[in-house]
Amino acid sequence: MNLQDFLDYLNSGRTIVAGSEIHQYMCMLSQEALRLTAELNNSYRTPEEIREIFSRLTGKPVDDTFNIFPPFYTDCGKNITMGKHVFFNGGCRFQDQGGIYIDDDVLIGHNVVLATLNHCMVPERRADLEPAPIHIGKHVWIGANAMVLPGVTIGDGAVIAAGAVVTKDVPENTVVGGVPAKIIKKVPESKHEGRDGGKYQFFLFNKSTCTPLE
C-alpha cells in the first residue's frame, strides 16, 4: 500500500476495519504526524520554517500566505487541503483522515477541533472507523473552542461562534452557535470587496513583523 492508495480508500468513505491493512497504514502515518508536530511545536519557528514543516506534514506545498500560531496537532496530516490566506490560531486539533478541505481566507480560532472519523455504532464493531470529510468555504471564521464533526460543510462567509459543536451543514453567510450549533442570524452585508472581488476581506499578519500578508 502507498499513500495514494490510502487516500483513495479514505476519500471513498468506506469503513476502516480495525486491524486491516488500511488501519495499519493509518497507524504508521500517525507516528510520522506525531514526529512532525513535535518538531513544529517544541521550539520557536519562523513563519517560513513553519510552512516548510507543514508542507512535510500534509505532503503537499503550502501557500506562502498560510500562517499558524503553534501548537498544532494532527494524527494524520496527509488529507488536509488548504487555499490561500488561511490562518490557524494556537491549539488547533485536526483529525483529517476523512479529508479536511479549507478554502481561501479562512480564520480558525484557538483550540478548534475538526474531526472526520466516527466509530461504528454496532458494539461488536466499535473499533472500526467511518470517515467523512469536512469542507470549509471561503471567508469562514471559526471561533475558539468550536468543534466541527464528520461530514459537515460550512458555506462561504459563515461564522461559527466560540464553543459551538457543529453537527450539520452550515448555510453560507450565517452565524451559528450552541450545542448543537443552530443558526443565530445572517452575516451583515459588506460594502467592501475582498481580494477575489467578493464581499469579504480578512487581513492575515506575519507574526514576526506584524505586517499584513499581501
Domain spans of the chain? 3-186
Give the mean pLDDT of 139-158. Answer: 97
What's residue 1's pLDDT?
A: 86
Give the mean pLDDT of 70-82. Answer: 97
With 90 as the cut, is the pLDDT of residue 170 above it? Answer: yes
| HEC-encoded secondary structure of 90-156 | CCEEEECCCCEEECCCCEECCCCEEECEEECCCHHHCCCEEECCEEECCCCEECCCCEECCCCEECC
CB 76 within 8 A of CB 97: yes
What's residue 211's pLDDT?
A: 46
Q: pLDDT tens across 114-136, in order? A: 999 999 999 999 999 999 999 99
- Look up residue 193 and give its three cell numbers: 470587496
CB 144 within 8 A of CB 161: no
With 70 as the cut, is the pLDDT of residue 140 above it? Answer: yes
Q: Tell me the chain's radius of gyration from C-alpha atoms.
A: 17
Burial (CB < 10 A; 0-12, 13-18, 19+), residue 50, is buried
What's residue 206's pLDDT?
A: 47
Residues acting as catalytic residues = 119
Identify the CATH assignment for 3-186 out of 3.40.50.10170, 2.160.10.10, 1.10.3720.10, 3.30.70.660: 2.160.10.10
Q: Where residue 182 falls among pLDDT bands split at 50, 70, 90? A: very high
Averaged pLDDT score across all residues of the chain: 90
DSSP codes of every residue in 20-46: SHHHHHHHHHHHHHHHHHHHHHSS---
Q: pLDDT tens across 5-50, in order? A: 999 999 999 999 999 999 999 999 999 999 999 999 999 999 999 9
With 50 as the cut, is the pLDDT of residue 200 above it? Answer: no
Q: Where residue 193 falls among pLDDT bands split at 50, 70, 90? A: low
| Cα(144)–Cα(182) distance, integer angstroms | 17
